[in-house]
Structure 1
Amino acid sequence: MGKLDSKIAVVTGGSSGIGFAIAERFIEEGAKVYITGRRTAELEAAVHKLGDKAKAFQSDVSDLGSLDRLFTAVDKEEGRLDVLVANAGVIAASPIREASEEHFDSMFDVNVKGTYFTLQKALPLMPDGASVILVSSCLATKGYPGHSVYNATKAAIRSLVRTAAAELVSAGIRVNTLSPGPVDTPIIEAQVGSPEAAEAFRKQAAAHVPLGRIGRPEELAAAALFLASDDSSFSTGMDLVIDGGMTQL
């Protein structure tokens, strides 16, 4: 018997990296999982790997109409949503002196606006006992140079979780934050542009982690399973930081 038997879950940004690992673990534990993303080919490849308990839905979280279509489909096909993982996000670097309005808007539109309205539009489908997981970052509490906008978006997510948890406690819906540290995902190559630069980034990031390495997606999936399942039935409004001790020691 799995910890999420017969549960219906949505994982945004679920075609690769942490989102894919979360979807995979949820399916192993008995859930049916809708994964979303902006690129259809990547979604279809992910569903092929995940099997028949996964369903892909092309969606851009910064587009409210796209979110409406997603949750209308889930409502029509399933009638409820037991677990929401708002994982979709983007990251780009820029020092404050050079940051453009486009740089600012692009990250706030996805990381904050997208997460906020993903939560809002999912709520009508969520029954008593449902779980919401909003993915933030350990950098929400760090003054990491060059990432002022990204860090601010993730701090906003942490704040949102506190208010949402307080508002939804009477409905029996738990809301928690999952905050990863550096994790070995394809986003590293996307950020730095070459395999050699990616390897250098991994070594540099690991040097800041007390455990001496960066994380694995499956480690974040295990943490997400805890927050999604009854194992965390006495937890709401919390921030589960999985960063190898980077912000804690």
Structure 2
Amino acid sequence: MHSAAKGCLIALARGTAVEWAAHNIRVNVVPPGLTVTPFIEASYPRWPDPAGYRRTREDTIPLGRLATPDGVADAILFLACPESSYITGAVLPVDGGYTAF
């Protein structure tokens, strides 16, 4: 279900980007990977070996670590700044390379 919803959101954003480009309105998608949040941090104690479980999750990410909220925000900030003024309809995954393989 999550994959279908993400795919629909990406398709919607790309279509919207094309429709609104003539008005100089840009639409992009920033799908974050597993991000260190209070919710995620609270989930680890449910496992018999919380630190081991976290390491297992980090081992699935090429950069070897979880995203931070600041890291995700930095990507969004980039897309909002003038340096990205020619980017629309893009998907910028902030996932440490997880979707690269």
TM-score bracket, normalised by the shorter chain, equals 0.7 to 0.9
Following superposition of structure 1 onto structure 2, how do residues 55-74 of structure 1 map, counting pairs within 5 Å?
Answer: none
Partner of 1:150: 2
Larger radius of gyration between Structure 1 and Structure 2? 1
Deviations 1:107-136 (A, max 9, x none): xxxxxxxxxxxxxxxxxxxxxxxxxxxxxx
Partner-residue secondary structure (3-state), 2:54:
helix
Is 2:58 the counterpart of 1:219? no
Q: Deviation at 1:199?
A: 4.5
Q: Deviation at 1:204?
A: 2.4
Which runs of no fewer than 5 residues in structure 2 stay unpaired?
none
The one-letter code matched in structure 2 to 1:202 is R
Partner of 2:11: 159
Partner-residue secondary structure (3-state), 1:242:
coil
Q: Distance in 2 between matches of 1:202 and 1:229?
A: 34
Q: Distance in 2 between matches of 1:235 and 1:178?
A: 13
Q: Paired residue for 1:195, among 42, 45, 70? A: 45
> How many residues align structurally?
99
Q: Distance in 2 between matches of 1:195 and 1:218?
A: 24
More strand by proportion, 1 or 2? 1
Q: Deviation at 1:217?
A: 1.0
Higher relative contact order (CA 8 A, sep 6+): 2
CA gap of 1:187–1:151, structure 2 versus 1, over 3 A, is: farther
Q: Distance in 1 between matches of 2:10 and 2:52?
A: 30
TM-score scaled by structure 2?
0.85
Deviations 1:176-201 (A, max 9, x none): 000111111123146x3x63536554
Is 2:59 the counterpart of 1:207? yes
Which runs of no fewer than 5 residues in structure 1 stay unpaired?
1-148
Partner of 2:94: 242
Q: Percent identity?
A: 39
CA gap of 1:204–1:161, structure 2 versus 1, over 3 A, is: same
The one-letter code matched in structure 2 to 1:207 is D
Cα RMSD, aligned residues only: 1.8
